[in-house]
Amino acid sequence: MTAQEKEKNRFWTLRYTLINVTYFMVFCGIHGYSSVFLLGKGFTNTQIGLCLALANLVSVFAQPFIAGLIDKPGPLTNRNVAIGSTVCIIMGSALLLFIKDSIAVIFILFAFIYMVQMAYQPMIIAMNFEYSRVGCKINFGLARGLGSLSFAISSAILGGVIARNGVDVLSIFDIVVLFAAVVILLTFIKPSGKEEEPVKADNDISLEDEKPHNNIVEFTKEYPKFMLFIVGVVFFFFAHNLINDYFIQLIRPLGGNETLMGYAVFIAAALELPTMALTPLFLKKFSCESMLKFCAVMFLVKTLIMTFATNMVWVFVSEACQMGAYAVLIPVSAIYVSRIMAKLDRVKGQAYINVAITLGGVFSGLICGRLLDVYGVKITMMIGSIVTVMGVIITFIAIGNGKRKTVS
């Protein structure tokens, strides 16, 4: 590879990395500190749960619908959806700064920006594979890992800033970062060119199919094991979302506060970087299927440690397990989708991964906020652990060898 080609490759990775960095900085502000923000606005745990459940539920329907439109030829692209979504969040965050006392209005606005930010995440992931097929060399694992690092740094900083200045700083932070995100996305234009064949590895079969499966019934018939795997993801993301959405409530009985929460989340997100960056190396040694099974087990380990934690040290240990759980799932599932699915189904496949994560948030929001108010932290976390065990079992049953039949 010439020096000019290497520079070009780094340039695409750099710009895609900046998209991930800005996205996950805002993800930290909106999702990572959702409970902190809403508690600061006077919400109860039950009201927080209903707000997040509503946002996640709407996102569940929005993601595959938008993905189906993107998979069809036309002007609606991953990039255009990302730009439009970013502008919507800027507007919603700005309005939140001016609404002080109306819980009902704050409920609607926060649910809206939470939903939009979740809904366009699969489009950012799919953008990598879309651009790669026309020759843009992007290190997805590195870009995604640096996105997690930006989440980590943001979390470590925001915890202390919120403790000193209040929760409105979150909206200001989101607006500033999102303006930068819009500029980056506007300049991230896909070059014209003939699409290349996707890379084949681990004996997986990449199949370019001309017929999209937009109907969920047809999609399930075409990819039955994948859709069963989606069910497993819903189950172990129940506890994952429980921990993330109610983190401050979980650690206060252990002596935690917003500042320590920021440090704990920093540990989890920072440790995602090496795992994600080294994903291509891991996939030379292990199959996608074995890595997905491993990450399911690590989700369980993380949940169990948090369930039985007696002080903040164990909370930090639990968060460190993120490097084998979420940090494996995100890049490996994206690659898994690109390998086992036809071209016209890939955005939908990635959307269904995100739908599963989101559904975990729906059930967590509907159930766990009320559980915390009525039964407390320990009982709630025990239920989360049981649900995670079920998710691991389903995942092991669902993940086969990942091969599809070839078509002559």
pLDDT at residue 210, rounded to an integer: 54
Contact 16, 189 (CB under 8 A): no
Is 80 exceeded by the pLDDT of residue 215?
no
- The C-alpha atoms of residue 230 and residue 252 are separated, in whole angstroms, by 33
Contact 26, 174 (CB under 8 A): yes
The more confident residue out of 324 and 400 is 324
Q: What is the pLDDT of residues 202-213, one digit of tens each?
A: 334 444 445 666
* The pLDDT of residue 273 is above 70: yes
What pLDDT is recorded for position 306? 94
Tell me the average pLDDT across 380-385: 94
DSSP string for residues in 310-328: -SHHHHHHHHHGGGGTHHH
**pLDDT at residue 110, as a whole number:** 93
Complete domains list, the chain, with CATH:
3-189+203-398 (1.20.1250.20)
Residue 406 reports pLDDT greater than 80: no
pLDDT of residue 7: 47
Identity of the residue numbered 229: F
Q: Any residues with CB less than 8 A from the CB of 32 and at least 6 apart, and which?
A: 151, 154, 155, 158, 244, 247, 265
Residue 392 has pLDDT above 50, yes or no: yes
pTM of the model: 0.71
Task: Determine the Cα–Cα distance for residues 91 and 83; give it in Å rounded to an integer.
Answer: 13
Taking residues 188-211, report their average pLDDT: 54
**Mean pLDDT, the chain, whole residue set:** 83
pLDDT confidence of residue 321: 92
**In sequence order, what DSSP letters do the residues of 227-252 get, joined into one string?**
HHHHHHHHHHHHHHHHHHHTHHHHHG
| pLDDT tens-place string over residues 244-267 | 888 888 998 998 888 888 888 888
Encoding tokens for residue 126?
């799919």
What DSSP character marks residue 311?
A: S
Q: With 80 as the cut, is the pLDDT of residue 94 above it?
A: yes
Cα–Cα distance, 353 to 234 (Å, whole number): 9
Of residues 241 and 60, more confidently modeled: 241
94-120 average pLDDT score = 88
Higher-confidence residue: 73 or 7?
73
Q: State how far Cα 267 lies from the chain centre.
A: 17
Residue 407 pLDDT > 70: no
Q: Check residue 57 and give its pLDDT.
A: 84
pLDDT of residue 179: 94
Cα→Cα distances 16→182, 188, 307, 323, 394, Å: 13, 8, 37, 22, 34
pLDDT band at 88 (very low <50, low <70, confident <90, very high): very high
How many Cβ atoms sit within 10 Å of the Cβ of residue 332?
25
User: What pLDDT is stored for residue 39 in this prediction?
Assistant: 87
Residue carrying the six token digits 């065990």:
389
Angle between helices 312-320 and 288-307 (to 10 degrees): 170
Mean pLDDT along residues 55-83: 77
Residue 153 · residue 362 · CB < 8 Å: no
> Mean pLDDT over residues 343-371, rounded?
81
As to burial, measured by CB atoms within 10 angstroms (0-12 exposed, 13-18 middle, 19+ buried), residue 41 is buried
- Cα–Cα dist 155/172, whole Å: 15
User: How much is the pLDDT for 400?
Assistant: 64
Predicted pLDDT of residue 206: 43
Give the pLDDT of residue 74: 65
Name the pLDDT band for 357 (thresholds 50, 70, 90): confident
Contact between 351 and 67 under an 8 Å Cβ cutoff? The reply is yes
pLDDT bin (cut points 50, 70, 90) of residue 17 is very high
